Amino acid sequence: MPQDLAPASAPLRHTRDERGVHTLTLDAPASFNVLSEAMLDALQAAVDAVRADERARAVVIAASGKAFCAGHNLKEMKARPELDYYQALFGQCSRVMLALQNLPVPVIARVQGLATAAGCQLVAQCDLAVAAEGARFGVNGIDAGLFCATPSVPLVRNMAPKLAMEMLLTGGFIDAQEARARGLVNHVVPAEQLDAAVEDLLAAILAKPREALAMGKALFYRQREVGIEAAYQMASQTMACNMVHPVAQEGVQAFIDKRKPQWPQ
Strand 21-26 with 12-16, pairing: antiparallel
Residue 259, exposed/middle/buried by CB under 10 A (0-12, 13-18, 19+)?
Answer: exposed
Measuring CA to CA, which residue among 91, 87, 142, 89 is closest to residue 120? 142
> Domains of the chain by range and CATH?
3-206 (3.90.226.10), 210-257 (1.10.12.10)
In the predicted model, is pLDDT for residue 76 greater than 90?
yes
Output 262 or 107, whichever has higher pLDDT: 107
Global pTM?
0.94
Residues 166 and 163: their CA atoms lie apart, in Å, by 5
Task: Tell me what pLDDT residue 224 has.
Answer: 92
Residues 103 and 256: their CA atoms lie apart, in Å, by 32
Residues 132 and 160: their CA atoms lie apart, in Å, by 23
Triad 142, 147, 151: Cα angle to 5°: 115
130 CB contacts (<8 Å, ≥6 apart)? Answer: 108, 109, 110, 111, 185, 186, 187, 188, 189, 194, 197, 198, 201
Triad 119, 56, 176: Cα angle to 5°: 30
Cβ–Cβ < 8 Å for 58, 20:
yes
Task: Tell me what pLDDT residue 22 has.
Answer: 98
Per residue in 1-53, pLDDT tens? 678 777 777 899 999 999 999 999 999 999 999 999 999 999 999 999 999 99
